[in-house]
Amino acid sequence: MNLTLHVWRQKGPQDKGKLETYPAKGVSEDQSFLEMLDDVNEELIKSGKDPIAFDHDCREGICGMCSQVINGKPHGGQERTTVCQLHMREFNDGDELFIEPWRARAFPIHKDLIVDRTALEMVMQAGGYTSCHTGGVADGNALLIPKPVADYAMDAAECIGCGACVASCPNSSAMLYTSAKVSQLAVLPQGKGEAKARVKEMTDAMQNEGFGNCTNHYECQEACPKGISVKFIAKLNREYMKSMA
């Protein structure tokens, strides 16, 4: 399979970027998207050119680092799929692919396809934890949690913090990310002690970091590689209203 790649190249945050075109020849349909980029980079290095900078770590759909917009869709647009899980069999011989970084004011570009997602970490640091000292490990049955509650919390905890929700939202909102982190703890007994302070502090941090607000486009849910539901945004809003009482 032979492809034509139009890749965003930008040397640094203050530089002006542009799309550059590269051939990807002999691509196997069994390769992942990142493996295809590895091969393209090898050819660039052989020809004395600067390789394409892109983020990756686990390559197993866990770490959330492989943040790329492919043909206008975060992670390539396949359902519940990160870029590292996207296989080249989803494309056809002769296709032209446009590969860009996340586009959001809160995510300044470091280089090429790598963006700074520190803003998400600042939201997490504002309150996405419990500060109680638990001591030794308690018996697993000492604190009974109904299965529906545990399932709800686990659904929220699936968020890997990749930022696809921000990249897909016309407002660059981080409401889906923030709501997942708030909801995960809001329903568990360990998180209820600090629930009011948590939702206020995380919402304030989200606004201070330059993220937009939610206007119910639902693009975030569509783009999320873990299928995080917008029901958690509703939960965030309810928790915020409760904190004001």
What does the pLDDT look like over 210-219, one tens digit per residue?
Answer: 999 999 999 9
Higher pLDDT, 137 or 4: 4
- If 0-12 CB within 10 Å is exposed, 13-18 middle and 19+ buried, where does residue 15 land? exposed
- Say yes or no to pLDDT of 86 above 70: yes
- Name the pTM for this structure: 0.93
Residue range 96-113: mean pLDDT, rounded: 97
Binned at pLDDT 50, 70 and 90, residue 142 comes out as: confident
Domains of the chain: 3-111 (3.10.20.30), 117-132+143-243 (1.10.1060.10)
Would you say 172 and 119 are in contact if contact means Cβ atoms under 8 Å apart? no
Q: How much is the pLDDT for 219?
A: 96
Torsion of CA 174, 88, 115, 175, to 10 degrees: 0
